[in-house]
Amino acid sequence: KAAFINFISDEEWKSIEPVSSWFGPSSFLMSSMSALFKLSMWIRHGHGYLTENLGIPVWGSYAVFGLATLFLGMVLGLVSEVLGADCGF
């Protein structure tokens, strides 16, 4: 606590370079990280719902999320192929 107070009162903060715009709170990188954290919380909530409310065993919840991941990968691959074929790649 004392070090922080000295940092402010001695104006040591003036010698530190500001955070680059790449790491700023509104940058694409930080917005992407925020989206990943929100997704992880959604997955955690979904796992809790499946196991606690529906009574599905933990391995069953993992299987549901695994199958959902495979299905989403297939859909995204199909979309990628369709868009790639239209662009001539």
HEC string of 8-20 equals: HHCCHHHHCCCCC
pLDDT at position 34: 92
The pair of structure tokens assigned to 82 is 């369709």
Per-residue pLDDT of the chain (89 residues; tens, 9 = 90+): 999 888 888 888 788 877 777 777 788 888 999 999 999 999 999 999 999 999 999 999 999 999 999 999 999 999 988 887 766 55
Question: How many Cα atoms are found within 13 Å in the side-chain-facing hemisphere of 75?
Answer: 6
- The pTM of the full predicted model, rounded to 2 decimals, is 0.59
pLDDT at position 86: 65
pLDDT at position 89: 57
